[in-house]
């Protein structure tokens, strides 16, 4: 018991208040006790002139750091404080810790400066410029490979194209049918409420039919496919790039765009018109159900009026957009997949970008077609 007391770390102040004596084992296990004792010397630190450490019989890096901090604290007031009695075996450790400690304390961390708005705008613009160049490079390489496949049709991956049509087309039928059916219900409800005020209930067939065939069915189908298919393409190709499968294909002499991009674009170009026709059917069906429920227009009367007033031209104007939507969805998804870095986090970022950019471009193209149709008087 007495031996443990002798080796326990201690620090005492002399009666005249000018001298501190340190003894015992200055190790990490004694740090808490020593730290609490050092707080009592904060008021008398200015009068202390000498630190005697001859009683220290054990020291590790934690104890040496605490001793160095004690000396720094005593010297903050500008007075000269001497240390004596440090045993030879502790000299190198204490010197190393003291130099490191002084370097840490003397380093001034410059405050973080927020970049100004010009820097943020410039960096964003430069990043978008580089991304645009990469996209043009991707499109150029795709066009060259497409032309070579048209010249040699036997190089086209027909099996992969059919697989894309199955996974991204056939399996998307339920969600598209449900979404466009609800759009037809909501659209007809809103029209019926307004047209009732003017006694023009029957015109709900005309307006809803034109809106569904010309705008809502192609647009909603494209947006659903952008959220479902474009992200799937980006995640698939991005994961392949993270796993270095793209590099493996190039090593084997396989062109990644020919093997991965071309079948997906062909598959969507073939599938999108069929999906749009499917969406037209359920959009009109939703409109029929709401017209019967809200206004009392019978199903046969609805179909007769629909056949008389909604021209086939409206269907064709909507169908013309679908190949362009398909190209945007597949191209953006595949491009963002190739832009993936070497981490799983990058796959998530590029997948999100593919959905956002595809939907944005779809709306832009749809607006461009609306303007073009208006200029042509269609």
Which of 66, 85, 106 marks a domain boundary? 106
**Residue 100 sits in the same domain as residue 161:** no
Domain with 179, as residue range(s), is: 156-376
Give a yes or no: residue 112 inside a domain: no
**Residue 371 sits in the same domain as residue 231:** yes
Predicted pLDDT of residue 360 = 93
Q: How many CB atoms lie within 10 A of CB 110?
A: 6
Alpha carbon distance 119, 125 (integer Å): 10
Per-residue pLDDT tens digits of the chain, which is 378 residues long:
344 445 677 777 777 767 778 888 878 887 777 777 776 665 555 667 777 888 888 888 887 787 777 777 777 665 677 777 788 888 787 787 776 655 554 455 555 566 778 888 888 899 889 888 988 888 888 888 888 888 888 888 888 888 888 888 888 899 999 999 999 999 988 888 888 778 777 888 888 888 999 989 999 999 999 988 999 999 988 888 888 888 888 888 888 888 888 889 999 999 999 999 999 999 999 999 998 888 888 888 888 888 888 888 889 999 999 999 999 999 999 999 888 887 778 888 888 889 999 999 999 999 999 999 888 887
**Residue 181 sits in the same domain as residue 282:** yes
Predicted pLDDT of residue 5 = 44
Total length of the chain: 378
**Residue 363 sits in the same domain as residue 264:** yes
Predicted pLDDT of residue 3 = 43
CATH number of the domain where residue 38 is located: 3.30.750.24
Residue environment code for 234-260, b if the CB has 16+ CB neighbours within 10 A, otherwise e: bbbbbebbbeeebeebeeeeeebbbeb
Alpha carbon distance 153, 147 (integer Å): 10
Nearest to 201 by CA among 285, 289, 292, 286: 292
**Residue 91 sits in the same domain as residue 237:** no
Predicted pLDDT of residue 62 = 80
| Helix residue spans in the chain (DSSP H) | 2-7, 31-38, 61-74, 91-106, 117-151, 158-164, 173-196, 203-211, 217-225, 231-242, 245-251, 256, 262-294, 299-309, 312-338, 344-376
Partnered with residue 12 across adjacent β-strands are 21
Give a yes or no: residue 195 inside a domain: yes
**Residue 292 sits in the same domain as residue 167:** yes
Predicted pLDDT of residue 281 = 93
User: For the whole prediction, is pTM greater than 0.95?
Assistant: no
Which of 48, 75, 106 marks a domain boundary? 106
Predicted pLDDT of residue 21 = 80
**Residue 203 sits in the same domain as residue 81:** no
Alpha carbon distance 184, 217 (integer Å): 9
Give a yes or no: residue 146 inside a domain: no
Look at the alpha carbons of 142, 145, 151, 155 in this order and tell me if their dihedral is positive or negative.
negative
**Residue 175 sits in the same domain as residue 78:** no
Count how many domains the chain has.
2
Q: Are strands 50-59 and 82-84 parallel, antiparallel or unpaired?
A: parallel
Q: Answer for the pair 214, 312: CB distance below 8 angstroms, yes or no.
A: no
Which of 72, 106, 140 marks a domain boundary? 106
Alpha carbon distance 104, 98 (integer Å): 10
**Residue 176 sits in the same domain as residue 304:** yes
Predicted pLDDT of residue 110 = 58
Q: What's the first-to-final CA gap in the chain, in angstroms?
A: 103
Alpha carbon distance 94, 67 (integer Å): 8
Give a yes or no: residue 130 inside a domain: no
């Amino acid at each position: 018991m007495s031996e443990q007391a002798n080796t326990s770390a201690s620090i005492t102040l002399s009666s005249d208040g000018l001298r501190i004596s340190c003894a015992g084992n200055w190790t990490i296990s004694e740090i808490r006790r020593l730290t609490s004792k050092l707080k009592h010397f904060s008021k008398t630190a200015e009068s202390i002139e000498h630190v005697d450490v001859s009683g220290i019989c054990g020291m590790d890096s934690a104890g040496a750091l605490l001793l160095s901090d004690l000396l720094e604290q005593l010297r903050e007031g500008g007075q000269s404080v001497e240390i004596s009695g440090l045993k030879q075996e502790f000299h190198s450790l204490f010197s190393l810790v003291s130099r490191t400690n002084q370097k840490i304390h003397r380093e001034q961390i410059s405050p973080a400066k927020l970049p100004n708005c010009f820097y943020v705008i410039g960096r964003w613009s430069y990043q978008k410029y580089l991304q645009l160049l990469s996209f043009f490079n991707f499109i150029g390489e795709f066009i060259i490979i497409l032309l070579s496949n048209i010249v040699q049709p036997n190089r086209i991956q027909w099996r992969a194209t059919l697989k894309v049509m199955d996974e991204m087309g056939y399996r998307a039928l339920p969600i598209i049918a449900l979404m466009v059916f609800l759009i037809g219900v909501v659209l007809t409800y809103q029209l019926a409420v307004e047209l009732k005020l003017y006694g023009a209930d029957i015109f709900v067939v005309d307006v809803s039919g034109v809106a569904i065939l010309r705008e809502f069915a192609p647009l909603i189908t494209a947006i659903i496919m952008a959220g479902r298919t474009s992200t799937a393409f980006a995640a698939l190709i991005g994961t392949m790039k993270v796993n270095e499968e793209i590099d493996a294909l190039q090593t084997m002499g396989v062109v990644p765009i020919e093997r991965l991009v071309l079948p997906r674009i062909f598959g969507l170009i073939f599938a999108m018109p069929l999906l749009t026709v499917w969406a037209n059917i359920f959009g009109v069906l939703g409109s029929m159900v709401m017209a019967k429920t809200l206004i009392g227009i019978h199903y046969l009367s609805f179909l007769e009026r629909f056949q008389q007033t909604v021209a086939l031209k409206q269907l064709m104007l909507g169908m013309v957009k679908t190949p362009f939507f398909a190209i945007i969805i597949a191209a953006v998804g595949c491009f963002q997949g190739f832009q993936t870095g070497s981490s799983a986090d990058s796959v998530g970022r590029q997948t999100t970008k593919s959905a956002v950019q595809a939907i944005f471009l779809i709306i832009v193209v749809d607006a461009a077609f609306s303007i073009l149709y208006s200029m042509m008087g269609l």
